Amino acid sequence: MPRDPELSPADLLSALEAQRDELFEQAPFGSCSIGPDGRLTSINDMALAWLGWNRNEWPSQPVAAGLFTPGSRQRLAAGLSGGTPSGSDELPLDLLLRSGATRPVSAQLSALTHPGLGPMGGHRLLMFDNRVRQHEQVRQRMAAISFDTPCGICLMHADGTMAQANAAFTALTGYPLEALRGQPLQMLDSGRQGPAFYSALWQELRTQGRWQGEVHQRRRDNSCFNGWMNLSSIADDQGRPLHYVARLYDITAYVSAQHEIDRLAFFDPLTQLPNRRLLLERLEQAIGQTHSSGRCAALLFIDIDHFKTINDTRGHAAGDQLLVEVAQRLRQTARTGDTVARLGGDEFVSLLVDLDSHTETAVAQAMKVGRKLLDVLDDCYQLGNYSFSTSASMGVAVMDGSQSVSDVLQQADLAMYDAKRAGRNEVRRFQPAMKLAADEHLAIREELAQALRRGEFELHYQAQCDGQRRAFSAEALLRWNHPTRGLLGPAHFLPSAEQTGLIAPIGRWVLETACRQLGRWAEHAPTRGLCLAVNVSALQFRDVDFMDHLRESLQRGHADPTRLMLELTESTVHSVDDIRAQMLALRPLGVQFALDDFGVGYSSLARLIGLPIDQLKIDRSFVQDMAHGVAAAVVVNTIIGMADSLGMDVMAEGVETPEQLKALQAAGCLHFQGYLFSRPVPLAAFESLVASGANPLVAPLSAAS
């Protein structure tokens, strides 16, 4: 302002100071003037408000250093003495409020000057609230990071109410910014997450400074979506939260995809029942709950009876339809809280929980549920245009918390197979004896495998004779020279071999040994004319490699194939078409075929006509009953007459008495096998018998085993 010559320098200075103070009075920051003596000459309303004073109560011209904490006083004193360049660096100061609290500010200190008058004495102190400046920095930072981003971002006050949000956040929630401001974050909750969820969220956010997790949110139009929220805290220099920033992502598509992955991983795609993997998890949980609660649980192992029949006769599509129908019936019958699952194939299970704490009572409960399920399954199924009736077999294993998952599955499985053996459409409870039998079966399997490796099997030979009791052939019969149990007949181990699949390698060994023996017999005059019959199991005969193995065995043994008789049981030729094709393929090799145990199965004349059979072997039961009843004699006469009409040889088994031999000869039978002629004997004893030409054969061999 122009200098007024009528005013003294002191008056002019006072006028300039008044004008300057008026300019700073309404400023949005703190301002005060400090005289040369260090006292305040003026202070604006903003600074007074920060300090907690009103102007009427404010003491006159206090010492400026008294407004600050001790550490800040030292920094202010250095600035007043010229330690800080005027108007340049900021001073970090802490105001000492009337209440005793402190308030951080950033101050700028400058000497008072006038362009015309020069230095006016004293300083001007401008103070800026750090929290306001941090808020502005946050706002600017948020604006920068939220610009054109698909992530929804929301700025919240320290009390958790929403203050600002970007366009992506408002688009995701459907709420305009005006509707969000001042509202708690929980207003977006769908209702699935209760107060406890948000209480834990805020607790972690305030103590850790961050939180992240899945949230289920509701839009303004009441539609819901799965979200992933990342919350972080923005604090002041003292660590006190000023704001919170929420980043919200829509993960609905990801959650949907994850649910589909879980469905494929844990549920059977055909029946939509839990699969084996999920069942094992729930079974482990059930065992744990049983252990902790003392209440029993049970596993029902269900296998569909004759399921293979519908697959073979109607195709796999019909079989799949049956499985779907079975699953639906089991699901509809299951109790609340129980699990019905498909293990695979035609095997299902039902996991029963919360049964009685007393084991026997729990068994009764499980058996009752099991019978109810069997009744539901034992009914007609409409599979398209085809009606199919079937049943199921079931095993029950009750859990008391002491078993493992594998124990329970094994026990239920063993009980189910016991139900199969009992005639099917039955439910059986697991008994410890079943496990002992299974262990013995497993032990025999391992022993059988070792017996093959150790060469413990051997063949015994039983003579096959004509009417003059001359041996023209022999049947090779398998024996196991067990290291501790002695010599065992096939009844002691062949059933186990068939169940375990070892019948195939054992059968190959028998065939190879028999072919070698035929080749050796051909080298010596007494045995050169002998034939040899070998039993072939159904599994072995249906093997695709059987013909190649037979050809190789004949070649390696230098055996005459026309002297090898392959004996098949009626069960082997049950599927006529497949067996006929295999037999016709083997025919060019020169081997012969016998049908063993004829008459006790389901053989018919039509079936025999279709097969290249060379010999029928009359079952021993008919031979033994001939002397006691007319029916057996009629059957034997019929078999002999039928075989003669078809050009087949007949061999009578189990001939033990002269009366039986006489009756068979009277009926026209020419070939015989049984104890009347010879028991099965080791190779050396058989060859000695043949070489001696003894007649009758039974004389030197009646005591043989």
Domain ranges of the chain: 9-128, 148-256, 270-430, 455-621+671-700
Please state, in angstroms and rounded to a whole number, the distance separating the CA atoms of residues 504 and 539: 7
Please state, in angstroms and rounded to a whole number, the distance separating the CA atoms of residues 546 and 328: 43
443 three-class SS: helix
What is the tens place of the pLDDT at every residue in 125-169? 888 877 666 655 555 555 555 445 678 889 999 888 999 888 889
What is the tens place of the pLDDT at every residue in 358-378? 999 999 999 999 999 999 998
C-alpha to C-alpha distances, 489 to 289, 482, 522, 599, nearest whole angstrom: 50, 10, 28, 24
Asked if residue 262 has pLDDT above 90, the reply is no
Asked if residue 440 has pLDDT above 90, the reply is no
Q: pTM, whole model, 2 decimals? A: 0.50
DSSP assignment string, 535-585: E--HHHHT-TTHHHHHHHHHHHHT--GGGEEEEEETTTTSSHHHHHHHHHH
Q: Are 9-128 and 148-256 equal in CATH topology?
A: yes
Give, in words, the CATH class of 148-256.
alpha beta
Can you give the pLDDT at residue 175? 95
Tell the burial category of 40 from Cβ atoms under 10 Å away from its Cβ (0-12, 13-18, 19+): buried
What is the tens place of the pLDDT at every residue in 3-36? 444 545 555 445 555 555 555 666 678 888 888 8
Q: Where does 455-621+671-700 sit in CATH, by number?
A: 3.20.20.450
C-alpha to C-alpha distances, 423 to 148, 393, 394, 401, nearest whole angstrom: 74, 9, 12, 31
Please state, in angstroms and rounded to a whole number, the distance separating the CA atoms of residues 477 and 668: 27
Please state, in angstroms and rounded to a whole number, the distance separating the CA atoms of residues 310 and 328: 18
Closest CA to 686 of 507, 532, 482, 467: 532
Q: Which CATH superfamily is domain 9-128 in?
A: PAS domain (3.30.450.20)
161 three-class SS: strand
Torsion region of 536: left, alpha or beta (phi above 0 gives left; psi -120 to 50 gives alpha): beta
What is the tens place of the pLDDT at every residue in 463-506? 999 988 889 999 999 999 999 889 999 988 888 888 777 888 99
Please state, in angstroms and rounded to a whole number, the distance separating the CA atoms of residues 172 and 170: 5
Asked if residue 574 has pLDDT above 90, the reply is no
Tokens at 372, concatenated: 């109810």
Closest CA to 327 of 274, 383, 398, 379: 274
- The DSSP code for 209 is S
Residue type present at position 257: A
- Name the CATH topology of 270-430: Alpha-Beta Plaits (3.30.70)
- With beta carbons less than 8 A apart as the criterion, state whether 567 and 617 touch: yes
What own/partner pairs with CB < 8 Å and gap ≥ 24 does 130-136 have? 130/104, 130/105, 130/106, 130/236, 130/237, 131/104, 131/236, 131/242, 133/106, 134/234, 134/236, 134/242, 135/242, 135/243
Can you give the pLDDT at residue 701? 35
pLDDT band at 686 (very low <50, low <70, confident <90, very high): very high
